[in-house]
């Protein structure tokens, strides 16, 4: 395991684009992407046993939340302060 850590430490880390790090509204865009990623992972892994125990309304609420965050980001973007 230590060998693998040393190898991974030498590899260059991917850099996020400026739209997700320094520009105004970057935190909101990054939050939106994380939310959509969580929703996509939940939908893709829904067939696995532990996730089958989740009721459908939980999955639906996550997707509605992602949709509302997207609409909020599109209609009321963050401005320079």
Confidence (pTM):
0.66
Distance CA 75, CA 25 (A): 13
Contacts of 80 by beta carbon, 8 Å cutoff, 6+ apart: 24
What is the torsional sign of CA 69, 74, 76, 80? positive
Give the per-residue pLDDT at 1: 64
Contacts of 32 by beta carbon, 8 Å cutoff, 6+ apart: 66, 69, 70, 73
User: And the tokens for 73?
Assistant: 């980001």
Over residues 19-51, the pLDDT tens digits come to: 888 888 888 888 888 899 998 898 888 888 888
Exposed, middle or buried: residue 30 (CB in 10 Å: 0-12, 13-18, 19+)? Answer: middle
């Amino acid at each position: 395991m230590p060998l693998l850590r040393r190898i991974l430490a030498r590899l260059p880390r991917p850099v996020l684009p400026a739209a997700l790090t320094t520009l105004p509204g970057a935190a909101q865009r990054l939050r939106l992407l994380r939310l959509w990623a969580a929703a996509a992972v939940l939908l893709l892994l829904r067939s696995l046993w532990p996730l089958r125990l989740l009721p459908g309304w939980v999955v639906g609420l996550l997707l509605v939340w992602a949709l509302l965050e997207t609409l909020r980001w599109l209609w009321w973007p963050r401005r320079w302060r």
